[in-house]
């Protein structure tokens, strides 16, 4: 018997075959502190780093699941809009960019609306998801916000909006800017029905989104550490020729300036919303 070929080599092959069976995505680094985090632990902690408390991105389905009771909710159908109203093309046709984003996210566009219960209270939740073309605001987003408002009025429920967005979608030009007015109209529909409109600013929220419906909440909540503004830090510094403080545009800085009412850790967001809904809806 040859010890190397008959015993050692088979054992090495067995060892390497077991290593290959281990999934590659078991660990992921925190974007802020670079600590390697066990993927299962991240999921259990709502994508919050256990080392530095950085709030990582949550996709819309994960956000719905963290807010609604027993992770149960009904998604509201959004009316279709023209796919490429301006026949826009830069390095790539807009239709092709939309297809790529839809294939990658398995979602129709950057916004989704769902109805369910938050600690027993009815609620309609609108989400703008950065994962789809930077959460950009297009005609579909305006339709989604109006659908959310109509659903809230029909159900006599508060409307909660959560944003992660870079602003208006340049591929839809003036049409995307018109959604600033349409989303504001949707907020006014909810107010006219004397229902609460609660805003949650997540990381990041910028541009035409922050300049319209994102800053119109009856209660303005920001997730801990979220970056919120209109233009980016670099653009502002170049314009004013002055260095901005490190905390500029953070949720905590905006609260100090009176621009938001609360800064809430993601783990406490559902209970905070539950309390606010019960108070504003007059529940016992």
Percent of the chain scoring above 70 in pLDDT? 91
- Phi, psi (5° rounding) for residue 188? -65, -35
Neighbour count for residue 9 (Cβ, 10 Å): 12
pLDDT one-digit tens code per residue, 210-252: 999 999 999 999 999 999 999 999 999 999 999 999 999 999 9
Rounded CA separation 218/198 (Å): 6
Q: What is the pLDDT of residues 180-221, one digit of tens each?
A: 999 999 999 999 999 999 999 999 999 999 999 999 999 999
Q: How many percent of the chain have pLDDT more than 90?
A: 86
The DSSP annotation for 130-167 comes to: TTTGGG-B-HHHHHHHHHHHHHHHHHT--EEEEEEE-S
Q: pLDDT for 108-167, tens place per residue? A: 999 999 999 999 999 999 999 999 999 999 999 999 999 999 999 999 999 999 999 999
Higher pLDDT, 16 or 26: 26
DSSP codes of every residue in 213-256:
GGG--SEEEEETT-BB-SS-HHHHHHHHTSPPPTTTTBHHHHHH
């Amino acid at each position: 018997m040859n010890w190397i070929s008959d015993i050692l080599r088979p054992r090495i092959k067995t060892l390497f075959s077991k290593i290959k069976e281990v999934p590659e995505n078991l660990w992921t680094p925190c974007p802020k502190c670079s600590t390697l985090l066990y993927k299962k632990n991240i999921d259990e902690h709502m994508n919050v780093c256990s080392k530095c408390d950085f709030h990582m991105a949550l996709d819309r389905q994960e956000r719905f699941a963290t807010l609604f009771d027993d992770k149960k909710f009904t998604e509201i159908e959004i009316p279709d809009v023209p796919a490429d109203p301006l026949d826009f093309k830069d390095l790539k046709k807009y239709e092709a960019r939309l297809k790529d984003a839809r294939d990658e996210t398995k979602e129709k566009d950057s916004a989704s609306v769902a109805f369910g219960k938050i600690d027993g209270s009815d609620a309609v939740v609108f989400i703008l998801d950065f994962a789809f073309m930077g959460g950009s605001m297009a005609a579909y987003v305006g339709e989604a916000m109006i659908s959310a408002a109509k659903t809230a009025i029909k159900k006599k429920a508060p409307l909660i909006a959560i944003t992660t967005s870079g602003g208006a979608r340049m591929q839809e030009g003036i049409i995307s800017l018109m959604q600033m007015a349409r989303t504001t109209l949707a907020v006014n529909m909810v107010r006219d029905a004397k229902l609460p409109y609660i805003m949650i600013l997540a990381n990041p929220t910028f541009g035409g989104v922050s300049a319209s419906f994102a800053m119109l909440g009856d209660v303005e909540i920001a997730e801990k550490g979220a970056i919120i503004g209109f233009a980016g830090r670099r653009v502002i510094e170049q314009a004013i020729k002055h260095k901005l403080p490190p905390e500029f545009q953070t949720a905590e800085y905006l609260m100090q300036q009176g621009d938001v009412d609360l800064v809430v850790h993601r783990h406490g967001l559902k209970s905070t919303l539950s309390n606010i809904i019960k108070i504003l809806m007059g529940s016992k």
